[in-house]
Amino acid sequence: MITLALDRYDRHIPFFDSTVRLPSKLKDLKVLQVGQHGSLRDGAARHERMLRDREFDAAETSLASYIVAKSRGLPFSAIPIFPRRLFSQGQIFVNAESGIEHPMDLEGHTIGLQSFQTTLAVLARGDLAREFGVSMEKINWKVGNPDAIEIGSQPNINITPIAAGRNLPDMLCNGQIDALFYSRLPEVSPERAHQFHRLFKNPKEVEADYVARNGYWPIMHVVALKDEAIAVHPELPTALFELFAAADMVAETYLADPNWTRLAWTQYTAEEEMKAFGGSLWTRGVSANRANLSRFISYAFEQGLINTRMEVDELFHPSVRDS
């Protein structure tokens, strides 16, 4: 049996409902539905269970944590499939009374992170530094969780864990942190939603400009494989890469039904995005994602997550580097 742990996204439905057919070389594949932020059918903590415990043969994992693992020589290889993407600009939330109106206002304040190594946090810090000159060293960082792969102390950066029993969204509303870099919408009751807002008042406009200048949607997750699983099944990297491509073809048909989701205007939004971006931003393969990955690796190096600047090709198994 070969185990593959994935989150519950629309692009993974073909795996869960078996509408993507397994080739003979993957006839023993067992697809698990494992969450990260919350528990799904087969549990939670997918990144840690893969990168720390090596529980699965393959899994969707944090890009940042995978890069750290790879830089440490841990026995993993990846395929250039990227199941989750986010812009940083729409995921930066500030307390309504903090006085933070512009990126540079973040300096001197306290900012919450899910963990220092969370991919969204690495991206947001990097984007703010590169595009707005915000200094990571001039911010007090509060982290909710330990890193998936320990990286040791950061001597010039003030990082402290939040107290047991606290949660970051509540701390944002209470003013115990001034801002929060968060990979989803902060989970608070509706009556508290007025206590925070996004840093960027029109994130769609800022994100569209990001795509216009850079040509991509930043990567959050990558599919990692255990090297020992590849040793037993040498065809596994290419077979999984092809299987994800087939699943994408199925998932791309979903929005042809205008009522496929619960949202009334999904179809219009999809058409608007295709027009704005000139096509789909869900690219796979190394070549189409090289600039995206190279920028993120630079961020990981600049922020002290890795000691040397890695090449993009080093992240991937040799059999899929030409994709």
Query: 279: pLDDT confidence band, cut at 50, 70 and 90?
Result: confident
How far apart are the C-alpha atoms of 147 and 228, rounded to whole Å? 24
Position 296 in a domain: yes
In a domain, 272, yes or no: no
Which pLDDT tens digit goes with each residue over 53-88?
999 999 999 999 999 999 999 999 999 999 999 999
Q: Say if residue 7's pLDDT is above 80.
A: yes
Position 280 scores a pLDDT of 86
Is beta strand 196-198 parallel, antiparallel or unpaired with respect to 179-181? Answer: unpaired
**Do residues 49 and 64 touch, judged by C-beta distance below 8 A?**
no
- Among the residues of 133-214, which ranges form H helices? 168-174, 203-214
Task: Quote the tokens at residue 76.
Answer: 């993993």
Same domain, 292 and 196: no
Q: Which residues contact 226 (CB under 8 A, 6 or more apart)?
A: 54, 56, 57, 58, 75, 76
On whether both 167 and 206 belong to a single domain, the answer is: yes
Q: Tell whether 198 and 163 lie within a shared domain.
A: yes
Task: Check whether residue 168 and residue 244 sit in a common domain.
Answer: no
**Sheet harboring 2-6: ordered strands across?**
29-33, 2-6, 58-62, 221-226, 76-79
Structural domain includes residue 20:
yes
Per-chain mean pLDDT for the chain:
96
Are 93 and 208 in a shared domain?
A: yes
Counting Cα atoms < 13 Å in the Cβ hemisphere of 314 gives: 15
Total domains in the chain come to 2
- pLDDT tens digits along 155-214: 889 999 999 889 999 999 999 999 999 999 999 999 999 999 999 999 999 999 999 999
The answer on 107 and 156 residing in a single domain is: yes
User: What's the CATH code of the domain at 195?
Assistant: 3.40.190.10
Phi and psi at 100, nearest 5°, equal -85, 115
Over the Cα atoms of the chain, what is R_g? 20
